Structure 1
Amino acid sequence: ITSRFLYHHIQKLFSKGVLDNIIDAIPEDILEHYHLPTIRTALIWIHTPQKESDAKAARKRFAFEEVFLVQLAHQRERAITNEHSGFIIKPEPEALKKFISRFTFKPTSSQEHALQNIFSDFKKGRPMARLLEGDVGSGKTFVAATAAYAVATSAPKDNKFGYLQVAYMSPTEILAEQHFKSFIEYFRGLPIEIGLLTGSSAKKFPSKLDPGGATKISRTQLLKWVEEGKLPILIGTHSLIQKSVKFKNLGLAIVDEQHRFGTLQRSKLAKKDAIIPHFLSMTATPIPRTLALTIYGNLDLTLLDEMPIGRLPIKTELVTKSNRKKMEEHIRTEINNGRQAYIICPRINEPDPEKELALIAKSVTAEAKRIAEDVFPEFEIGVLHGKMKPTEKEWVMDEFKKGTIHILVATSVVEVGVNVPNATIIVIEGAERFGLAQLHQLRGRVIRSNHQAYCYILTDSTSEVSQKRLKALATAKNGFDLAELDLTLRGSGELSGGKQWGISDLGMEAIKNIKMVEAARNEAIRLITKEPDLKKYTLLLHAVETKHKNTHWE
């Protein structure tokens, strides 16, 4: 369809008088305050602008409308949530101090600040709605575990027997297993039982036969204990939101890397009961402030912006073909010194040469074979990708953690949260195929100890934008700087997958404008404070309910 075709058909509609009956959803006082055209004028100016300023004004109006509707949906959701009661949780200070002392490190001041925010929310009697945004390796799991301990040792006010429960939802089985193992270490020796529920397994800690370890149990038995309130902490994937999972007293829902879950999945977890549980969402994906204000408009934001004491900054290098040998020798030296490495490839298998549009990029299977035969024959090479069975993935990860596998060749399945402190080198092949935020996440896999970590970025792309982006990865101090840069360089339509936020390209363009985002947010807060049910604004209510019904509950 050509622009000319569209133009003539729209002119026909205009000539039939469609604009005469159109009513503006945005209140008149808001349009006047921000000098925005009415819907009728904006439609004429966007389709038949007489001058450039008309077209710009129309775009500004539609961009504002989109961001305003997102904000309105969030603020309305927040107002509805605040009408519900939340469990009042006041952890015993001495017991909390004792729990924190179980960790081998002293919490950073930003971790302490995050816990203060959470415990302050717990006392209010309203459901907490908080986003914990921390750079890779900044210690979000410690904050989550301490909050979980506070909840799992608090009794619900109407029940002297039993305690509140915690649901901890992870985006992948690998990560759920990892959190389960971490929590076993954190809670070992305490009278707090922990369950794991994924698509492929159900486990419980401690085991009756082996008090120091976990045991596989039947799914039915695990769900029975959860429903009876006998299991205080349940960790899992989206299996946690199936109808069969019923909590007796769910006090806290923690969701890790929640943008990987659909809106409905998150809301199911948090809205299964009349008393809405406290909600803690965690992400290591760096999000520009304007985007955070928009897509997480109904969450209070806490930043973890410090690294644990003694953590060395990672050395990132863009490797050319001529420097590959030097890089391989460095990997050899590090592994001989007892360290381990990841090699990340964009594909699982080699592309089909018959397919015209096949993605020509390095594959995990071919690269693993090449390095095992030609580059590092003396080392043990492992393979990990999304199409492997959960049991195979678990076995590979365990062998890598034990140190039996020296080099793990994987897809970006290791992007989120995988934690092997001894792995200090990551090589990313075909780096131009990953977003900056994703590259930063991958790089974060090796900032897990106080050993010096290295990230090698390899690309065949000669594009100026690709080179600029990858150089930025090597020089940016943290993920937040990178996210702002990604927004500028790649264009907002691609940022963190604009489509996944339910926002159009025009809306994403608007998100680059902090003043517009803040104005839309302030107007939404003012309107909802004055009219929480939007009864006097029927058109706005209809727009919010239809357009943003399923856009990010958070």
Structure 2
Amino acid sequence: MIPDHLPTSIREDGRLMMLSRAIEQIHYPDNEEMRSLAHRRLAFDELFVLQLGMQEKRARWQHEAKDGSSFTRYDHRIFAEPDQELSSTSKIAKKVSQPDTQLLGSTLWSVIATDKPFESTLPFSFTPAQRRVITEIFGDLGKRKPMCRLLQGDVGAGKTAVAASALLLATLNGYQGAIMAPTELLAEQHARSISLMLEPFGIQTVLLTGSQRQRERNAARQALASGQAAVAIGTHALIQDDVLFQSLGLVIVDEQHRFGVEQRDALRQKGLHPHMLVMTATPIPRTLALTLYGDLDVSVIDQLPPGRQKIITRWRTGARSSEAYTEIAQQVSEGRQAFIICPLIEESETLTAKAATSEYERLQRDVFPDLRVGLLHGAMKPAEKDQIMHRFRDHELDILVATSVIEVGIDIPNATVMVIEDADRFGLSQLHQFRGRVGRGKHQSYCYVLSAEASIQAQERLGVFQDTDDGFKLSEEDLRLRGPGDFVGVRQSGMPELRIADFGDTVLIEQTRTLAEQLWSSDPYLRKAEHAPLRERMYLFWQNFMAH
């Protein structure tokens, strides 16, 4: 008889058969019901040890940081109309008071430049979803254990304003905050928008990137070390040894899947156990988030601000693809710009998809000879990519031919046309990210998805994309049609591959997460003798992940 690593209590709570019985019935089932019950037991095992590993990951981080800082909530400084029920709790300051300047030195705060709450200084009001998420984040910031939270939001959902709210609360408590972005362009974008948001409060922000002149870099470093600057926004340059903070209390990592674990940890180590918020604009299905980010609490901005123009999406095949070029010519004649996305960099002998380099040459020579066309792809050096994007942002180019390198974070309000060649080669979530690069300004925007002969499944996928603009619905559909491997976070996380369980099994995933949390709470690190077999099984399952 095979020893069973699951404790009896867990097995009974989960209504699971014994392990030896499950293995027997999965190979030689008495009937279909027994085969199904055996499969459920083995799937439970996979998900349960996965969730326990996530609990350990979270516990180790919070144990190392047990002396973190709890922030006092200044809701009257954030919300135009603070929630009266929340405002009655003891952790929330009920009257205007200066932050604790002893924590940072007198240079951080001189005079707050406005008596208005943060929301009232913005050109918009928070959506209910933004308000809910800010409240969740503030709840974490009010605890001594450091926050470990993932912030998800669809394209244009308002994550930047939420991040700025958290940064403002950190500075109101006398701490500094930092945002790390994967590219210089995205860092500069955050610096512009967040500096404007925090300016009314007299908060100085600095930008740190690899291409800065030495004089600018030195000035930014000195401002952070002295406490004169309360917020740092930058790229990997933030984690260089010569960048020092006076009192870093909040770390925000944008598009966190673009960074390695070591890079995120290096930024956290710049402070004394700071709170951490990671953000992504890639909607992730709930079941996938519960597993991929099982060590994090998850907040979701599932509502877009009112008044946003709907992007008109058109799926075209064959000869009708020329309609996209006609639209580009019309939009450029009105002073707008366009993206054209190709799945390959260079032409391939084995793949019949369009390549960015050859399409760039063809379009420049034959289709748009009088327009300014640029080329961007992942094989370029970072400095070259940033230069091209700066030229496009500054309207020195009319059309940008690119690969998937532009899928995240680029904000070009003047771009109104997105054309995606061989769209059947991309997943729904990636297509949605491409579409989100347009529609950011006041003008009507268009997205053309072009395909030659597509499979039945690809046709279904492109039809869904044409008719749906909800990123979370598209992500669920992507999970159903293509499986979890299409999600960038899964591909880059190092997570062990599931052999039996299904990422789409919402009930089982939620059950295993709840039971894992309960067991870990009662026996952290599974040190009780009765849990030794389960602990060994967990480490065996996670050994590949732990090696990363």
Fold match, TM over 0.5? yes
Q: Is the 8 A contact 1:151 1:166 kept in 2?
A: yes
Q: For 2:502, what is the secondary structure of its paired residue?
A: helix
2:499 equivalent to 1:506: yes
Aligned partner of 2:70 in structure 1 is 88
Alignment match of 1:115 (pick from 134, 155, 163): 134
Length, aligned pairs only = 505
Letter paired with 1:117: E
Q: Is the 8 A contact 1:432 1:461 kept in 2?
A: no
2:259 equivalent to 1:277: no
Alignment match of 1:128 (pick from 147, 150, 153): 147
C-alpha change, 1:551 and 1:455, in structure 2 (3 Å) is farther
Alignment match of 2:384 (pick from 372, 375, 392): 392
Query: What is the distance in 2 between the residues matched to 1:428 and 1:503?
Result: 32
Query: What is the distance in 1 between the residues matched to 2:489 and 2:443?
Result: 34
1:181-192 matched pairs, under 5 angstroms: 181-188=192-199, 191-192=202-203
Q: Deviations over 1:440-490 (max 9, x none)?
A: 111111131232221100112420001111111111240111111111111
Alignment match of 2:515 (pick from 497, 513, 523): 523
Q: For 1:533, what is the secondary structure of its paired residue?
A: helix
Alignment match of 2:415 (pick from 415, 423, 426): 423
Aligned partner of 1:469 in structure 2 is 461
Q: Is the 8 A contact 1:385 1:411 kept in 2?
A: yes
Query: What is the distance in 2 between the residues matched to 1:193 and 1:37?
Result: 60
2:470 equivalent to 1:478: yes
1:273-352 matched pairs, under 5 angstroms: 275-351=272-348
Q: Is the 8 A contact 1:264 1:550 kept in 2?
A: no
1:224-239 matched pairs, under 5 angstroms: 226-227=224-225, 229-239=227-237
Letter paired with 2:466: A
Alignment match of 1:542 (pick from 499, 517, 536): 536
Aligned partner of 1:12 in structure 2 is none
Query: What is the distance in 1 between the residues matched to 2:543 and 2:261?
Result: 9
Q: Is the 8 A contact 1:115 1:147 kept in 2?
A: yes
Alignment match of 1:166 (pick from 170, 177, 184): 177
Deviation, structure 1 residue 152: 2.8
Q: Is the 8 A contact 1:342 1:426 kept in 2?
A: yes
C-alpha change, 1:292 and 1:319, in structure 2 (3 Å) is same
Deviation, structure 1 residue 80: 4.7
Aligned partner of 1:15 in structure 2 is none
Letter paired with 2:396: T
* RMSD of aligned Cα (Å): 2.9
Deviation, structure 1 residue 280: 1.2
1:172-211 matched pairs, under 5 angstroms: 172-188=183-199, 191-198=202-209, 200-202=210-212
Aligned partner of 2:88 in structure 1 is none
**Greater displacement, 447-456 / 485-494:** 485-494
Q: Is the 8 A contact 2:439 2:445 kept in 1?
A: yes
Query: What is the distance in 2 between the residues matched to 1:203 and 1:27?
Result: 60
C-alpha change, 1:228 and 1:535, in structure 2 (3 Å) is farther
Aligned partner of 1:148 in structure 2 is 167
C-alpha change, 1:493 and 1:310, in structure 2 (3 Å) is closer
Query: What is the distance in 1 between the residues matched to 2:177 and 2:24?
Result: 54
Letter paired with 1:325: S
**Greater displacement, 167-176 / 316-325:** 167-176
Alignment match of 1:60 (pick from 31, 40, 52): 40
Q: Is the 8 A contact 2:148 2:275 kept in 1?
A: yes
Letter paired with 2:502: A
C-alpha change, 1:490 and 1:390, in structure 2 (3 Å) is closer
Q: For 2:436, what is the secondary structure of its paired residue?
A: helix
Q: Deviations over 1:5-39 (max 9, x none)?
A: xxxxxxxxxxxxxxx5x533221222234343433
Q: For 1:87, what is the secondary structure of its paired residue?
A: coil
Percent identical across equivalent pairs? 42
Q: Deviations over 1:228-254 (max 9, x none)?
A: 545432223344445555544221111
Deviation, structure 1 residue 376: 1.8
Deviation, structure 1 residue 524: 0.7
Deviation, structure 1 residue 306: 2.2
Q: Deviations over 1:108-165 (max 9, x none)?
A: 232222222222322233322222211111111111122212213432xxxxxxxx12
Letter paired with 2:290: L
C-alpha change, 1:497 and 1:108, in structure 2 (3 Å) is closer
